[in-house]
Amino acid sequence: MVQIFSWLWVFSGVLLILLVLLHSPKGDGMGGIAASGSSMFNSASSAEASLNKITWTFLSIFLTLAIILSAGWIS
């Protein structure tokens, strides 16, 4: 059972990395702090919003599995 949860944890971690890399850049980085960038507070498109929901879901799965595996609640 532990091995199944471990593989799910690894899979969710790899998928989480890929999902984060799919996000579009939000700003200009440190150079955008001094600039009066009007694109700083644009709303996310529907594709970006759904990507955010999927990313947060896999983050919660990843963290939950990490807690379960590190606490030793399953044998």
Q: How many domains does the chain have?
A: 1
Q: Is 38 inside any structural domain?
A: no
Q: Is 32 inside any structural domain?
A: no
pLDDT at 9: 97
Q: Is 17 inside any structural domain?
A: yes
Domain of residue 72 covers: 1-21+46-75
pLDDT at 65: 97
Q: Is 3 inside any structural domain?
A: yes
Q: Nearest Cα to 48, choosing from 15, 22, 12, 16? A: 22
Q: What is the pLDDT of residues 25-66, one digit of tens each?
A: 876 666 656 655 555 555 668 888 999 999 999 999 999 999
Q: Is 28 inside any structural domain?
A: no
For residues 1 and 72, the answer to whether their CB atoms sit within 8 Å is no
Query: Residue 24 — left, alpha, or beta (φ > 0 → left; ψ -120 to 50 → alpha)?
Result: beta
pTM score of the predicted model? 0.75
Q: Is 4 inside any structural domain?
A: yes
Other C-beta atoms closer than 10 Å to the C-beta of 71 total 8
